């Protein structure tokens, strides 16, 4: 193992350790919060504290690169303490907070400082922050970068909150040049606003009406425009929550052409389909909307082919009354899916049905988002030198999602009552347990900077 027994804090041994080289029997030694060694099954040093996991899987802690914590300003929607407790319960050991829905929005260095103050001492897992790109703030991006923002997020369509307005393609291109100069990353919500219907042309209780108001063409045209910005500026551009086969095809073609364009899927697009959404089920409202079965399967194919590099939750909760369940009006309801605690189980439930193995969980939920956020030197894999962010996972056990078992602020989720397979039993952050059937210990998460 390369260290004396006295230097090793913890040894975990499993027949199914999910490493960058595949799933294999292995012994993982932890020292001073990092993975000291990944050895053979019988390599545990005599006398070291060893936890035998048997056939339980040992996964790298997930990195969720798309989370709306909403604090400060809208902490009644979600907060750092509740969001990170839910993350720990779901095997997520790092989240990256989006720059909108909080007040102030994270569009300058002062706002990022306010966000960090709100998070200090309240996080059960590690937390990084994206900055925001909005009209008129291009000159603020360098200071945001210097203050530690991991990258920058923009909307081409209205975001839903007035303090984070959408940006034009011309101004986005100018900001992309600045972001390239900074050596950072641009993330974009890709829907062309001129393609979006402002009012329903049918029954607002029907998901089909909402779906028609956010057509595939809106995403396709927006991604096409982003590809041209990447071509003109050489800035790396990441398309968040890709929902369609057309969007995937645009990204795949750009990548084949050598352009720095990437994209992500979300568990709700990989789990649900439009044909199964009943009238009034506003807990399933999001933008872009959940599309049909064929679009869902195209996303799975894109993940398998590497056209999409990762899966992120886009956890965006709100108080229950804003979901408008009484009226069931998709146009009046807040658009966001609460799923931070459930992403690992939701993805595994669908992946195993498609004959995929545990290695896809590590690739799409850990390694991919860690690389996107510039955290791969410390996060995203069970490998020597990485933080000992580890998850003990039972891939065979099934359970029904009960709202009262959820730790985010409001226990409303479209997964409520759904049968999922794969349960997080224990989560370690830098070698210390933060979840063991229930959240444990005081908040010990760190605030991360680029």
Is the separation of the CB atoms in 225 and 259 below 8 Å? no
pLDDT tens-digit map of 253-293: 999 999 999 999 999 999 999 999 999 999 999 999 999 99
In the chain, where the domains are located = 5-59+387-396+417-436, 61-372
pLDDT mean across residues, the chain: 95
> What's the rounded Cα separation, in Å, for the pair 91 and 386?
16
Closest C-alpha to 167, from 154, 178, 179: 154
> What's the rounded Cα separation, in Å, for the pair 184 and 172?
14
Name the more confident of 29 and 41.
29
Q: Nearest 5°: CA angle at 211, between 68 and 343?
A: 35
Lowest mean pLDDT of 41-45, 222-226, 298-302, 340-344, name the range: 41-45
pLDDT tens-digit map of 112-161: 999 999 999 999 999 999 999 999 999 999 999 999 999 999 999 999 99
Confidence band, pLDDT 50/70/90 cuts, at residue 1: very low
**Residue burial 34-43, b: 16+ Cβ < 10 Å; e: rest:** bbbbbbeeee
Closest C-alpha to 79, from 434, 407, 345: 407
Is the separation of the CB atoms in 59 and 22 below 8 Å? no
Domain 61-372, CATH: 3.20.20.140
Identify the CATH homologous superfamily for domain 5-59+387-396+417-436: Urease, subunit C, domain 1 (2.30.40.10)
According to the model, what pLDDT value does residue 6 have?
A: 61
How many angstroms separate the Cα of 24 from the Cα of each of 13, 346, 363, 408?
11, 23, 15, 34
* Mean pLDDT value of segment 299-323: 96
Confidence band, pLDDT 50/70/90 cuts, at residue 43: confident
According to the model, what pLDDT value does residue 100 have?
A: 97
According to the model, what pLDDT value does residue 62 have?
A: 98
Confidence band, pLDDT 50/70/90 cuts, at residue 199: low
pLDDT tens-digit map of 215-236: 999 999 999 999 999 999 999 9
């Amino acid at each position: 193992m390369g260290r004396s027994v006295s230097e090793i804090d913890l040894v975990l041994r499993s027949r199914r350790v999910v490493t960058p080289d595949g799933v294999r029997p292995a012994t993982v030694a932890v020292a001073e919060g990092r993975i000291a060694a990944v050895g053979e099954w019988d390599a545990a040093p005599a006398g070291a504290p060893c936890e035998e996991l048997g056939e339980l899987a040992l996964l790298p802690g997930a990195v969720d690169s798309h989370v709306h914590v909403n604090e400060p300003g809208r902490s009644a929607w979600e907060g750092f303490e509740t969001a990170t407790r839910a993350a720990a319960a779901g095997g997520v050991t790092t989240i990256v907070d989006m720059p909108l829905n909080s007040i102030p929005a994270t569009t300058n260095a002062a706002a990022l400082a306010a966000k960090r103050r709100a998070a200090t001492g309240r996080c059960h897992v590690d937390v990084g922050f994206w900055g925001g790109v909005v009209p008129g703030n291009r000159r603020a991006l360098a200071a945001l970068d210097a203050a530690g923002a991991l990258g920058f997020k923009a909307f081409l369509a209205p975001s839903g909150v007035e303090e984070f307005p959408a940006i034009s393609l011309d101004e986005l291109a100018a900001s992309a040049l600045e972001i390239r100069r900074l050596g950072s990353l641009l993330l974009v919500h890709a829907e062309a606003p001129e393609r979006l219907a402002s009012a329903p042309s049918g029954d607002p209780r029907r998901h089909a009406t909402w779906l028609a108001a956010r057509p595939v063409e809106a995403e396709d045209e927006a991604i096409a425009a982003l590809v041209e910005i990447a071509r003109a500026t050489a800035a790396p551009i990441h398309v968040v929550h890709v929902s369609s086969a057309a969007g995937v095809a645009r990204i795949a073609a750009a990548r084949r052409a050598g352009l720095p364009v990437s994209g992500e899927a979300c568990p709700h697009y990989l789990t649900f389909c439009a044909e199964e959404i009943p009238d009034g089920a506003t807990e399933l409202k999001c933008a872009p909307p959940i599309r049909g079965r064929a679009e869902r399967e195209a996303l799975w194919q894109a993940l398998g082919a590497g056209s999409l590099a990762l899966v992120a939750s886009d956890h965006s909760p709100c108080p229950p009354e804003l979901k408008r369940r009484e009226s069931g009006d998709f146009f009046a309801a807040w658009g966001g899916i609460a799923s931070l605690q459930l992403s690992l189980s939701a993805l595994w439930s669908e992946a195993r049905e498609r004959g995929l193995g545990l290695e896809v969980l590590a690739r799409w939920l850990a390694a991919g988002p860690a690389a996107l956020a510039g955290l791969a030197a410390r996060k995203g894999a069970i490998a020597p030198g990485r933080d000992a962010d580890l998850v003990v996972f039972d891939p065979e056990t099934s359970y029904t999602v009960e709202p009262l078992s959820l730790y985010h602020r409001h226990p409303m989720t479209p997964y409520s009552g759904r049968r999922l397979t794969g349960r997080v039993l224990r989560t370690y952050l830098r070698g210390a347990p933060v979840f063991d059937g229930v959240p444990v210990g005081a908040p010990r998460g760190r605030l991360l900077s680029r």
